Amino acid sequence: MKILLILFLILSSTLAFSTSMPPAIAVNHSLKQCSEVFTGDECMSCNPPEGWGFLEDMFNASCPEDYEQVEIDVTCTGYKNEFCCTVSHSGANGNCEDVIVNTSEQKCAFVENIENCKSLPANWITPTSTNYKGIICPSLEYEWETEFIECIPITEQTDLNADAPIDYSIKQPFPLELLFVLLVIGIMLIYYKIKK
């Protein structure tokens, strides 16, 4: 019994847990339909499609008697927080697209608008650049920065092509004067051959 207790304490200290919300009853009164749907957990919020809503006591309610029970797709949005963007937590991943990692200092952080970053600060990389697959912090032992990391933004459209090599293959239009000279020479040669 003591061994089981020790194992439980070790596991609970190394894993993060999230709690799923119980399924809820969503209804569409105009279609007289209802559906049991997943509403999310600590890392994600899910909502039914347009025209659907939840009953007032959605977790304890049941489908109205004269409604048809159907299956519907819900739209889920992840939360941007440290818990939901660290590997080994249970439950769904949050909104982790802006996570960056500093493997040398064993830190993780969020960077605002990562798609608009020209470059990240020294030693910071995106998780996809590491051996770990997924846009989340690769270890519970990593420390999270308390503030967003700032990156060097792409400020102008020209910055997008700043590092592109110069294309020297673009040819200038053929000069008309040279074309006229070659045409005159050609006519003179033809005339000279005919005279012979």
Average pLDDT over residues 62-91: 89
Over residues 4-34, the pLDDT tens digits come to 333 333 333 333 444 556 789 999 999 999 9
Q: Which comes out higher in pLDDT, residue 52 or 187?
A: 52
Average pLDDT over residues 56-79: 89
pLDDT of residue 154: 79
Classify residue 193 as exposed, middle or buried by CB count within 10 Å of its CB (0-12, 13-18, 19+): exposed
Binned at pLDDT 50, 70 and 90, residue 158 comes out as very low
Long-range Cβ contacts of 114-119 (<8 Å, 24+ apart): 114/151, 116/153, 116/154, 117/151, 117/152, 117/153, 117/154, 118/151, 118/152, 118/153, 118/154, 118/159, 119/151, 119/152
**Pick from 139, 123, 129: nearest CA to 85:** 139
Over residues 84-110, the pLDDT tens digits come to 888 876 667 788 888 999 999 999 999
Task: Give this prediction's pTM.
Answer: 0.57
